Amino acid sequence: MIKHFKQQGNEVKVTSLQTSQNWFYALLVFAALSGLGIVYLFLRGTIWEGHFMEWMNLVVRVIHITFGIAWIGASFYFVFLENALNRTENVRDELAGNLWAVHGGGFYYLEKYKLAPKRIPKDLHWFKYEAYFTWLSGFSLLIIVYYFNAKSILIDPEVLDISAFTAISISVLSLVIGWILYDQICKHLSKNKTIFTIAITVLVFVFAWIYCQIFSGRAAYIHFGAFLGTLMAANVFFVIIPGQKRMVNAAKKGELPDPKDGKAAMMRSYTNNYFTLPVLFVMVSNHFPSTFGNDYEWAVLIAITVGTAGIKHYLNLREKGQLSVWIMPISVIILLGVAFTTAPEPPKYENCTTEVSFTEVVSIVKNRCAVCHSKSPKDEVWKVAPNGVMYDTPEQIYNLREKIYQRAVLSKNMPFNNNQTGMLEEERDMINCWMNQGAPK
């Protein structure tokens, strides 16, 4: 009895220490964010503003990528583990399965319990902070890149002419509403796998379409990724971790954990797993305007989501030893079909009656593009050349002629902010003529 009370006392101390540690980390994060906010207010409007924003963007982006890799890696691994478990040969009654593995020169033996072991070990690792910090850093990046530059990046008047406040409000509310709708689908439709899959697919498609009707193409894609990422992180925070805590607490009391908690957590983990590849695509999509710059960007986004989710489904089936001959080919055909259908037709250039000189192209680029793409940008938003692309010299312009052609002529998503420098169609035609004449220097 004395030993039991001592054990309980130690567990209470450990729990109290963990709670204190969590609060300390939360306060540390809050203090860091507050400090950055104060520094930004001091630097705003000075020559250091652009430098500060670029480094803040870089640091938060690295944090986001690092935690995202850890989270997605854990998702891939544990779903693989669940799919590949040996459930029949030499499996004890209390186990759901086991797995032998070799990695890094060592052999590993893993066991999964049906509910919980008779005694919960003191050192129990929780997989949650990867998800939390991925979402927090991702939302911070959304603020830095899109909210701070709402007029130039988030909003496209040709799509929907709204104020920055309205756009940001819609952005935040969409994440909250999306989670509520998704959560209700999971709670009420998950018993029927077919209906559940259709409902989730429709929800995802609707949000992809809505975002493309409100925001600029690039912002719409990022918001779609933020929407999926929010569902994933909220699954961990509101369902998976609370359920696991209830199971652990029940096991510590010698009670039988509720199997519903385990089933709910597994179902949410599986949906998270299917969201991973579409989210990864969205994370890199802002570098490829042939996707978000398409006239039917919502259809491109949906098609790529279906194709990448299909590939993940094929891999999950393969891990279970259930091969499908049609899922992978169809998924690849969808992705290749997107690449084919988004290929732009060469613009007409009948107006090319005379040869366009490189000097004329240099003049156009410097007048229309070098406002942002320069060592010393004159733009109100871009204090540093976007992606380090500069058009200060004829050599720089010539070396990046293909990029200029892609952005200014084919996709026409440059100049930024709804053609803020007023590039004329005649000027785009001249660049097109020059390129089709062999880009003479």
399 compared with 25, residue with greater pLDDT: 399
Q: What value, to the nearest 5°, has the Cα angle with vertex 55 and ends 291 and 175?
A: 50
pLDDT of residue 20: 77
Q: What is the mean pLDDT of residues 338-359?
A: 77
pLDDT of residue 288: 82
Can you list the pairs that 73-79 forms with residues at least 24 positions away whose Cβ atoms lie under 8 Å? Answer: 74/127, 74/130, 75/269, 75/272, 75/273, 75/276, 76/273, 76/276, 78/127, 78/269, 79/269, 79/270, 79/273, 79/316, 79/319
59 compared with 180, residue with greater pLDDT: 180
Residue pLDDT, tens place only, 134-173: 999 999 999 988 998 888 889 988 889 999 999 999 999 9
Statement: residue 1 has pLDDT above 60 = no
Averaged confidence pLDDT in the chain: 87
Q: What is the mean pLDDT of residues 42-51?
A: 75
Residue pLDDT, tens place only, 22-40: 778 778 777 877 887 788 7
Statement: residue 280 has pLDDT above 80 = yes
Q: What is the mean pLDDT of residues 118-133?
A: 88
Provide the token pair at 300: 């491109």
pLDDT of residue 3: 47
Q: What is the mean pLDDT of residues 100-114?
A: 93
pLDDT of residue 5: 45
Q: What is the Cα–Cα distance from 307 to 334, expressed in whole angstroms?
A: 6
Would the pTM count as exceeding 0.95? no
pLDDT of residue 44: 76
Statement: residue 122 has pLDDT above 60 = yes
pLDDT of residue 385: 77
Query: Which pLDDT band holds residue 9 (cuts at 50, 70, 90)?
Result: low
Statement: residue 132 has pLDDT above 90 = yes
Residue 294 identity:
N
Q: What is the mean pLDDT of residues 345-374?
A: 81
210 compared with 44, residue with greater pLDDT: 210
| CB proximity list for 80: less than 8 A, separation 6 or greater | 319
pLDDT of residue 412: 78
pLDDT of residue 305: 95
Can you list the pairs that 190-197 forms with residues at least 24 positions away whose Cβ atoms lie under 8 Å? Answer: 190/267
Q: Write phi, then psi, for 412 (nearest 5 degrees).
A: 55, 30
Q: How many helices (H) and strands (E) does the chain have?
A: 16, 2
pLDDT of residue 12: 52
pLDDT of residue 25: 73
437 compared with 198, residue with greater pLDDT: 198
pLDDT of residue 375: 83
Q: What is the mean pLDDT of residues 230-246?
A: 95
Percent of the chain beyond pLDDT 90?
49
267 compared with 27, residue with greater pLDDT: 267
pLDDT of residue 48: 76
Q: What is the mean pLDDT of residues 183-206?
A: 95
Helices (H), 114-158: 129-142
Residue pLDDT, tens place only, 401-411: 888 888 888 77
Q: What is the Cα–Cα distance from 183 to 234, expressed in whole angstroms?
A: 9
Percent of the chain beyond pLDDT 70?
92
pLDDT of residue 346: 65
